[in-house]
Every structure is written in C-alpha cells, then in structure tokens.
Amino acid sequence: MTILVGPNAIGKSNLLEAVTLVSSATSFRQFSWPDVVKEGEALARVRLDAERGLVPVRLGLDVESSGRKSFFVDGTKKRKASDVAGRVPVVTFVPDDLQLAKGSGEVRRHALDVLGSQLSPAYGTLRSEYGKIVRQRTALLKQGEARRDTVEWDEVLARTGASFFIHRARLASRIEEAIVPFYETLSVGERVEMRFETSWGGETRPPREWAAASRDEVEWLMREALERVSRKERARGVTLVGPHRDDLVLLIEGLSARGFASQGQQRSLALAWKMAEAEVVGAVLGCTPVLLLDDVMSELDEKRRAALQEFVESGPQALLTTTNLAYFAPEMLEEAEIVEVADVR
C-alpha cells in the first residue's frame, strides 16, 4: 500500500491517471488523448512494470501531441487498446464514483464498460464498434432533408448492439451477484437489486434475465424499436434506440436509488460496487486487481472508512492519494509506504 500525500492540485491524481491510461486505455476523468500531452511537448510516455502471479509484465503507452497513441506489451507495439486492457487489471475509486447511485445512466454504463473492456477484448471491441455505428448512423440522420436510407445502419446497429448489450448484461449480472452481500454488510441488512431500463426491450428486467436472452431475440427487439421511432429519429437527428441509451437502475429495498438514496446509502452503494468490481475481476481473470483510490477517504464517514480500509488490505496492492493522513487509521499508516508529493506537474 502506497499513500501519496500532498495538498490539492499538485498532480497526485495525474499519477493514478497515468496508471489507468497505460493499463486500461481510459481514465476516471473526462479526458481527450491530445490533452494527455503537456502543452508544448511532443510526446507523453508511460511505462509500467508489474508482476502478475510471478510473471513480469511491462506495459507502455506513448501519446503524441496530435493524440495518436501506441501501446506496448513487453516491448511489442500493439495497435488496439483491447490488446492491452486487462493485462494489469485495475479498479479505481474516485469521488465521482459517489455518483454511481444518483448520477445519470451514463455513469453506470461507463463503469460497466470500463470494467468489461478490461475483462474481455471482445467486450472492448464491441464497445468501440458500437460507438462508431451510433456516430455514423446519427451523422446520417442529421442529414435531415436528404433523408437517406438508414437500412444498413439499422441492421448493423441491431446486430452489434445486441451482442454488446448481452456482454454488458452478463457483466451487470455478475456485479449484481457480487454487490448484494457487500451492500448488505455495509448497510446492515438492506437489499440492493438491479434492473435494465431500455429504450427497446419493454418493461425493466434484471440483468441475469437479459444475460440469458438469445442474441436473436435482442436483435429483433432492437429492430422493432428502431422502426417504431424512425420518424422521431429523423425529425430530431439522433439515434434513440440502443445500448447507448440504456440505464442500469439500482434499487434499495425496492426503491430507486436514483430517486431515494440517502447520502449514506449513496456512499455505501459506491463502495460496495467497487468491492464487487474487484471480486468480479478476480473471478474472471484469476488475479486480484490493483486498487487506485483518489482522495476518497475524505468522502467517507468513519464506519465506511473502516470498511474501505479492510477492502484495501485484502488486495495485493493499492495506490491511494490524500490531502490529509488523519483520514487513515494509525495501524494502516504503519503498514503503508507514505510518499510526500511535491509539485509533480
């Protein structure tokens, strides 16, 4: 366990971000690849030496100021992010994750997709292909007047969308299974459940039901829905149907967390979700992820801090940032390596 301590805005988070960029080609912050490179510099470079089991892994990332990026695994250049993701699995926990309960569907979709892309290259490929399809199809819909035919784009949207959605549903059902006991402990007996709210699949259904659905069925449902909204889509120039509009709804004791969760419930839910992520990574990849915690201790009360501490100690490695060591229990500080961070920007 390494704790990076120092005042706000001196670049502690940048260090954690560098680890997520090189290990999963993504960040816990809004980012664009060109912005990763320091103003006036030609190149940003990250190298990460890790050990998985007893096997050393070396990951690399070069980003040019144009945003062009190359990944490296053990010195070999890789073209796609999906070739790198999952080699050194990480689970991040940052203050924004407290939005998992109350934020828009985007927050939960993003959390699932970042995890999924680490767990399977197919998930990552489907995610990026699906995103491309939506962008292409939307561009066509925006051509308005011309009203060009979208037949082929409807077809690929339904096909790729169905595969992508089933991958996502399978992952969500694993997260649900893992989150229930964690949340129960944190909340002293409350029950959490999940439901997919989709723009195409009729009434909400739990992830495990969708996970077992056939691809043909999902594809058919998406096609039907596309047909129903065709006029509206053309009028508005947006793609209204598909996994990019779905929401994974969280329920606490049967009530929507988005509508009703208290501050405490939101925090417990976020923490339980992260614990569930780590457990699913372990089950799927057979190795416990590295935990990256960006200034979250300050967001939690004493009880949840203790739970987080236990969680951190259960993993093989954790990198934490904080502005104040007082948030940590003395036993924890004794075991941790503490690094005082001066301005690293």
Partner 1 sequence: MYYAAPIARLLEELERLPGVGPKSAQRIAYHILRSEAEGTARLAEALLEVKRVIHFCPRCFDFTEGDLCATCADPERDAATVCVVEEPRDVVAIERTGGYRGLYHVLGGVISPVDGVGPEQLRVRELLDHIAEGTVTEVVVATNTTVEGETTALYLARMLKPLGLKVTRIASGLPVGGDLEYADEVTLGRALEARREL
Please give the residue ranges that form the binding site for partner 1 (CB under 8 A): 42, 64, 80, 125, 128-129, 132-133, 135-137, 139-140, 143, 148, 151-153, 155-156, 160
Distance separating alpha carbons of residues 275 and 185, to the nearest angstrom: 12
Nearest distance, CB of residue 291 and partner 1, angstroms = 31
CA 181 to each of CA 111, 128, 188, 284, 313: distance values in angstroms, whole numbers, following the listed order: 20, 32, 10, 19, 19
Which CB, 152 or 217, lies closer to partner 1? 152
Nearest distance, CB of residue 149 and partner 1, angstroms = 9
Token pair of 177 as six digits: 């299974």
Which CB, 153 or 165, lies closer to partner 1? 153
Which CB, 155 or 193, lies closer to partner 1? 155
Which CB, 151 or 342, lies closer to partner 1? 151
Three-state secondary-structure class, residue 102: helix
Nearest distance, CB of residue 154 and partner 1, angstroms = 10
Burial of 73 per CB tally in 10 Å (0-12, 13-18, 19+): middle
Nearest distance, CB of residue 110 and partner 1, angstroms = 21
What DSSP character marks residue 205?
B
Nearest distance, CB of residue 219 and partner 1, angstroms = 14
Nearest distance, CB of residue 83 and partner 1, angstroms = 11
Which CB, 162 or 186, lies closer to partner 1? 162
Burial of 184 per CB tally in 10 Å (0-12, 13-18, 19+): middle
Q: Any idea what the Cα angle at residue 196 is, between residues 192 and 200, rounded to 5°?
A: 165
Token pair of 55 as six digits: 């096997």
Nearest to 273 by CA among 166, 168, 174, 207: 174
Which CB, 65 or 185, lies closer to partner 1? 65
Distance separating alpha carbons of residues 249 and 278, to the nearest angstrom: 21
Do 112 and 311 form a contact (C-beta atoms < 8 A)?
no
Which CB, 135 or 303, lies closer to partner 1? 135
Three-state secondary-structure class, residue 193: strand
Count CB-CB contacts under 10 A for residue 238: 15
Nearest distance, CB of residue 230 and partner 1, angstroms = 16
Count CB-CB contacts under 10 A for residue 125: 18
Residue 10 has phi, psi (to 5 degrees) of -115, 5
Nearest distance, CB of residue 13 and partner 1, angstroms = 30
Which CB, 117 or 125, lies closer to partner 1? 125
